[in-house]
Amino acid sequence: MHIDQLDTPSIVIDLDRMERNMAKLSAYCQASGLQLRPHTKTHKIPELAKRQMASGARGITVAKIGEARVMADAGLNDILIAYPIVSEVKARELAALAERARLAVSLDSLEAAQAVSHQAAERGVVIGMFVEVDVGFHRCGLGRPGDAVALAREILSLPGIEFRGLMFYPGHMLAVRSRQLEMLTAVNDSLDRFHEAFRDAAIHVREVSGGSTPTACLSAAFHGLTEIRPGMYLFNDRNMVGAEVAPVDDCALSVLVTVVSTAVAGRAIVDGGSKTFSSDRFLSGDGLGYGMVAGDPGASVEAMSEEHGHLNIQDASHRYRVGDRLQIIPNHVCTTINMHERVYGVRGTEVQAVWEVVGRGKLQ
Ligand SMILES: Cc1ncc(COP(=O)(O)O)c(C=O)c1O
């Protein structure tokens, strides 16, 4: 099928770019002796997870049990749920899933660890466990080494659980490289303190799982890291361009839209708004706008209604007409994909693949 035959709005993935991004990070991990466990919340598509495995990943990451189930159903069998599983209902679901896949969770409380242990022991399965530590993002994770050691000790005594190590997410490092390097010193100081505390307590930390897309190619500089979990690296987005993590030419995903109105002077309205792109902000830049129009830096995606994207075309490089088809690179790929039932893999102008976003909406 030719790309012109696709209805809009549709997500299109430039397969050449995606494959290049995938190969680049696999090569980096191999050269650095790091394991790669991509976060599949970015695409929620089992077929893409399988491609990442074929390209050298040692397993996958998800955020939700529902996503893990979708991946396990497709045959992916080494899954880290990098999210605290807290309730009894969830722990039961997790234990059931552990009967058919090698599962691990990261968490930062004894309550969560006990709930998982209880259900795992009842089912006779073993679930891997990482203690999440906070190295500066201040979202989840224990900040004090003594608290992390204390939780690990408790975990070591729980049935149905295998203590695997430490997990952290450097989400605050969405910044240009020079700024990241400044932040890295504090992150490494913090990691050093955790490593030292575990050494003093004679608790073996077999794995340290970290990483993100903005820091992916800096991963070897994090002290003691054994594995990284980037997700967006496969596609990149406007936030990655803003942080100078990727050039526009490495953006593999865009939303194909149609201009539906040019009636208001200086404006072109396209058939995708916040229900197509999400409303995620331009976090690595000035916070303004909702995407980049491919091939026309002068046009800005200035506002979003639910189903309308408002383009300011006063400084655009060409005249926009009703019926024109454009490709818009979103601010944030992960939330954009979650809005769509399927995505289209394109090589040149040829649609070569159609993938259902099987994990979309799997929020539990
Ligand atoms: C716990 C965790 N690990 C890994 C990632 C993936 O990082 P990125 O979104 O930078 O690709 C995320 C993203 O939110 C995350 O929350």
178 C-beta neighbours (distance < 10 Å), count: 8
Ordered per-residue pLDDT tens for the chain, 364 residues: 999 999 999 999 999 999 999 999 999 999 999 999 999 999 999 999 999 999 999 999 999 999 999 999 999 999 999 999 999 999 999 999 999 999 999 999 999 999 999 999 999 999 999 999 999 999 999 999 999 999 999 999 999 999 999 999 999 999 999 999 999 999 999 999 999 999 999 999 999 999 999 999 999 999 999 999 999 999 999 999 999 999 999 999 999 999 999 999 999 999 999 999 999 999 999 999 999 999 999 999 999 999 999 999 999 998 999 999 999 999 999 999 999 999 999 999 999 999 999 999 999 9
End-to-end CA distance of the chain: 36
* From 40, 140, 169, mutation site for ligand 1 pocket: most ligand atoms within 8 A of C-beta: 169
Whole-number Å distance between alpha carbons of 157 and 163: 10
Q: What local confidence, expressed as pLDDT, does residue 318 receive?
A: 87
Distance from the CA of 169 to the center of ligand 1, in angstroms? 7
Q: What local confidence, expressed as pLDDT, does residue 26 receive?
A: 98
Cis peptide before 9 (omega within 30 of 0): yes
Distance from the CA of 226 to the center of ligand 1, in angstroms? 16
Distance from the CA of 5 to the center of ligand 1, in angstroms? 34
* From 35, 39, 132, mutation site for ligand 1 pocket: most ligand atoms within 8 A of C-beta: 39
Whole-number Å distance between alpha carbons of 115 and 93: 11
Is 232 a pocket residue for ligand 1 (Cβ < 6 Å)?
yes
- Closest ligand 1 atom to residue 231 Cα is 11
Whole-number Å distance between alpha carbons of 358 and 251: 22
Contacts of 296 (CB under 8 A, 6+ apart): 316, 317, 318, 326
Is 289 a pocket residue for ligand 1 (Cβ < 6 Å)?
no
| pTM for this predicted structure | 0.97
Q: Whose CA is nearest to atom 14 of ligand 1?
A: 171
